Chain A
């Protein structure tokens, strides 16, 4: 079930909220846990058991660590969680890679290396990391293990952050798991955040996705370099608004049921370096890797060579975490390489440069990196990059010249995308608050509130109208 689907918005969510608010507080976790399993099982079926097994492994591991069997608990958590992740996410990739290697070196029997396709359980990357961070935090003495599987299961399974993150750490929500309050006002704050996230996803990300998909799926000789640039710009905006939109919706839903999830994006496209970019992009993931991989590896406390090695390991794993293919590994290592270069001295120079130059450098590096992320394989990514610099296959008559895509909606969406990828909304909020403090009369305040709310509701209705259009599939002739 997706947050941006009618069945979630108008069936699951209202029924969930009504029951949740009607139930006594001591039943909230149990109901949230059950509803989350239903939410997950609706699309995934029995694969929900993988989530439960992962949760059970880390719950037991946490108890073992706390009861003094520290190594056994840690081992159980790491081996148990990671083997599930490896089996479901990487085994096909591993077998294909070994077969490819064996075929390349003509090793006998290479073609017999085959494995049935294993379906990837949605959210496995997120709940695996949540489980490991839980056990490690107990191991390091940062938190106490939870004694109730119901409460722990609620933390792992809860639907607001289950599908697309953010990676919520147990330590951050432990107090809310045992005691949280929900108020109408907090619900409203959550609703505002949810609406903004939904609008980002449906009105912007989906428009950019359609543009990027058309261009990336087209044969390389059917478009010129300018269209290739448009394609990757569209994808750059798509992935940001899609991902941050989901995070906004998760944070909003969390607030509606009393949880305060941390921010996951901080306008990454205004970064002035790749280091800065990773402080602002998917914050919960990058901080997870920093705290549970980079620092345990030694971080930057040892020699420069060790620091570079650690960076490359972290970004290799970051790439692999995003997907089981060479593209993601190359994308991760590409970012790791730039971080190394910045650490080697470029960062100091960037700090001295005129800010727009540093921004431009960062954007170009990020944009080129997204080509590896979006292309179906490495060969396609390289062809696309060649196309971007005007070296790709050419045609006398392009099917998709730049003008093919320049509709009003695309142009307006691009402008909105560029503007909203900067902290303009935060600035607006700041001025709006200032305006509200200066308005003294109650009717005037109420009018401004109504204007603000109308804007939000209009956004929500527009997003739903776009969703409705997506399901409208007329035919010229009757089809029964």
Chain B
């Protein structure tokens, strides 16, 4: 009786060992695509006598390409998420409560930042502030006003849906420490955390399955920024709710659930379709390649006044829907450095630099 079992097992085990090769040859699991957002290694060339480097590269190639790999990850991801209720990749994505997902520690230790395990020292905050003041003075000499905006992490706006074990520290956050240092200067510093938190009861302001704010949150953030600019530049028109038509639709799966390959199952319950109404519109007039960031820069013509140069990260991308209408000209650049020659070339009268909260240390090199 053991004989039958062992004989059967021998054949089935042999088949299982061969299946990955068959999959590589015939693409049996081709529909399970990779969602890794990176270039997967290809077969390395063998440059004799560099055999060691070949074996290392081949190992890497094979583990990223063996047959059934993606299909098995799909199964693993669902097992961890749906059965165990845990993140399949806890360092990449944190599974929160009520369908909320958060960016994990693999990106700039964002969870540790929010748990107060990586506080910003007062010295670092002072260094960043001094650097920004220097930038402000350089621009002021050219008649340009600088505004610094920090887009909050979803961890700060919706901490209530984080897992209990990742509760935020009661100590001042890194952003609090920086804000305190900046407030002792005249640098315009836009922190929209309170604005977004006060808007929460009426609308969801962040995507549940994505790292970014949703379009409603973007609108609120944009309005807060514009309001601050208007304090110095009254000619810029105000942003009013009546400027927009807001519709609620069903959402989609965002970048966090895409990393887990469950974007078709885990979706945002709501998506805000926001369209400018009346004459507060802008038109995109050009896109220019940006070799530094890899994301193109975009030019707009609007119905407002002044010229805006906006250098920001992915959070600024959605702001392009709203802000350009309030300026005569706008130029949006993806990056984490303010290029002086670009400023001289563009000759804006308003420069905004924006970073997401988890990257505020970038401001020390902006």
Contact = CB atoms under 8 A, between A and B. Distances in A.
A14 B37 contact: no
A474 B7 contact: no
B79 interface: yes
A186 B62 CA distance: 30
B315 to A, nearest CB: 12
B262 to A, nearest CB: 12
Contacts of A401: 165
Interface string A14-30: 10010000000000000
Contact of A465 (B73, B85, B117): B73
Interface in A430-480: 436-437, 445-446, 449-450, 452-453, 456-457, 460-461, 464-466, 468-469, 471-480
A445 B5 CA distance: 9
Contacts of A437: 1
B6 interface: yes
A469 B169 contact: no
B86 interface: yes
Interface in B214-229: none
B75 A191 contact: no
Contacts of B84: 407-409, 412
Contact of A474 (B38, B68, B69, B211): B38
Contacts of A474: 35-38, 89, 92, 258-260
Interface in A173-230: 184-189, 191-192, 194-195, 222
Interface in B49-64: 51-52, 55, 58-59, 62-64
B5 A453 contact: yes
Nearest to B61: A7
B255 interface: yes
B294 to A, nearest CB: 7
A472 to B, nearest CB: 5
Nearest to B258: A474
B79 A465 contact: yes
Contacts of B69: 6, 468, 471-472
Nearest to A478: B37
A188 B5 CA distance: 8
A13 interface: yes
A434 to B, nearest CB: 12
Contacts of A450: 8
B37 A479 contact: yes
B291 to A, nearest CB: 13
A468 B72 contact: yes
A446 B39 CA distance: 47
B10 interface: yes
Contacts of B259: 474-476
Nearest to A402: B165
B16 A460 contact: yes
Contacts of B20: 6, 10
B362 interface: no
Contacts of B207: none
Contacts of A184: 6-7, 10-11
Contacts of B11: 184
B119 to A, nearest CB: 12
B65 to A, nearest CB: 9
A477 B13 contact: no
B314 A477 contact: yes
A399 interface: yes
A42 interface: yes
Contact of B4 (A186, A449, A456): A449
A404 B165 contact: yes
Contacts of B38: 473-475, 478-480
A185 B10 contact: yes
A470 B4 CA distance: 35
A67 interface: no
A240 B314 CA distance: 47
Nearest to A452: B5
B73 A468 contact: yes
A478 B69 CA distance: 20
Contacts of A461: 16, 72
A9 interface: yes
B51 A10 contact: no
Nearest to B88: A469
Contacts of B70: 468
Contact of A475 (B7, B37, B63): B37
Given A453-B12, A465-B75, 20 more contacts: A9-B17, A10-B17, A45-B55, A184-B7, A184-B11, A188-B6, A191-B9, A192-B6, A195-B13, A408-B84, A449-B5, A457-B12, A464-B68, A465-B73, A469-B76, A474-B35, A474-B260, A475-B259, A478-B37, A479-B38
13 contacts: A6-B20, A10-B67, A14-B21, A408-B86, A437-B1, A449-B8, A456-B9, A457-B13, A460-B13, A468-B66, A469-B88, A472-B89, A478-B294
Interface of B: 1-14, 16-18, 20-21, 35-39, 51-52, 55, 58-59, 62-64, 66-70, 72-73, 75-77, 79-80, 84-86, 88-89, 92, 103, 107, 112, 115-117, 164-165, 169, 211, 255-256, 258-260, 294, 314
Interface of A: 5-7, 9-11, 13-14, 17, 42-43, 45, 184-189, 191-192, 194-195, 222, 397, 399, 401, 403-404, 406-409, 412, 436-437, 445-446, 449-450, 452-453, 456-457, 460-461, 464-466, 468-469, 471-480
Closest 5 CB pairs of A and B: A188-B6, A188-B10, A191-B13, A474-B259, A468-B72
